Amino acid sequence: MSFRKQITISLIIVIMAAGISYGIIYYENKNTRLASEEDAYNQGLTAFEKGDWNKAKELLSEVSKDSPYYQKAQSEIKEADNKITEEKINKAVKAATGALQEETEKAQQQATEAKQKAKAAEEAAGTLKEQTEKAKQEAAEAKQKAEEANQALQQEKSKEADLSSIVSQWKPLVGLVYCEFRYSDTFYKYLSKSGSGIAIKFANQSLSIITNKHVVTDASGYGAYACVFAFPDHFYIYKNDGNWEGIKVYSGLDGALVNVSNADWYLLNLTASFPKLCQNKPSEGDKVVILGYPAIGSSEGITVTQGIISGFEGNYFITDAKIDAGNSGGAAILVKDNCLLGLPTYGVIGGAESLGRILDFNVFVQK
């Protein structure tokens, strides 16, 4: 055998030995990697079963794409993501529930404090009752003196009072009326109305505020939930007690009487002298003065308009005096006798002018 042939054979043997060694090393490494990924997969499943979703996701992510466990690992990773998301949601719900519980306990504490304050107010009411009885007695004495003084004044009066003195006399009795209407179950406000009203006290009756029925009732006839009566220097709040006994309406007439059961000294003193009601029917052409709070009137106080008696219509007097929305329930004064004629009720608009209606005040006395 030649030397060259020996060299060639030796090279072939070396190359074959190297290939065999490489193959052995390759398969050993592959088996080692597969064993490692199988171990990672099994550890990931163990972590998943223990509920350690993040650890399971981390271990399962080590499985390579060419591993026989890859598809199963990806499925478990997706499930772990779902579990992680679910866990976050549960934590958020738990936090929100805790906050709600805290707010509920706070509200209960506030309710307890409110009850304690109500009890204290009830105890104070005993003392207030004595003061109220004393005030009533003083009011009765003041009323008697005022009536005597008023009678003497009327006897001395022989001529028509001027408009300025009429307004000054009647203005304190006429107030702005604002009413809110709410559903009895939800207390949601569905309507509000405004108008005017006059404070008065009939003999042997509690103090009242008289206004038009359409101011204190809605279209279905339900009474207002609460009303504020704002007089020039005072205000009174009426709140429905649920049985509607505080508001009396007159069938067939646009009139209503609001009973002031807890009148304070100001209102009692204001109505101590019963206002003079007109005893005689006015004539066409007699002057009238309207006092009230129309929506387009003064923004700083009462608005005064004047006119004459233009005609008659049942229990209503027709007048050309200006009566706009908001005047309803105010006072209509007959100038020649300086007496309360009735309640401005509504206006009827014609082509260019409008005529108002005044509800005869005597219907309240008769009914």
Domain boundary among 102, 130, 156: 156
What pLDDT is attached to residue 159?
A: 43
**CA 38 to chain CA centroid, nearest Å:** 68
pTM of the full predicted structure? 0.53
Structural domain range at position 260 = 162-367
Whether 113 and 208 map to the same domain: the answer is: no
Residues in the chain with pLDDT values less than 70: 1-4, 10, 14, 16-38, 40, 44, 53, 63-66, 73, 152-161, 241-245, 274, 297-299, 347-353, 366-367
Write out the two tokens for 67.
Answer: 């591993």
Domain boundary among 156, 182, 210: 156
Write out the two tokens for 326.
Answer: 């908001």
What pLDDT is attached to residue 285?
A: 94
Whether 133 and 168 map to the same domain: the answer is: no
CATH value at residue 344: 2.40.10.120
Whether 216 and 140 map to the same domain: the answer is: no
Instruction: Check if the beta carbon of residue 345 is closer than 8 Å to that of residue 168.
Output: no
Whether 174 and 149 map to the same domain: the answer is: no
Count how many domains the chain has: 2
Q: Is the dihedral of CA 322, 323, 325, 327 positive or negative?
A: positive
Whether 67 and 180 map to the same domain: the answer is: no
Whether 152 and 167 map to the same domain: the answer is: no
Whether 77 and 201 map to the same domain: the answer is: no
Separation between Cα atoms, residue 59 and residue 63, nearest integer Å: 8
Domain boundary among 123, 156, 189: 156
Whether 90 and 150 map to the same domain: the answer is: yes
Whether 97 and 17 map to the same domain: the answer is: yes
Whether 209 and 337 map to the same domain: the answer is: yes
What pLDDT is attached to residue 349?
A: 44
Whether 204 and 190 map to the same domain: the answer is: yes
Whether 40 and 56 map to the same domain: the answer is: yes
Separation between Cα atoms, residue 216 and residue 79, nearest integer Å: 66
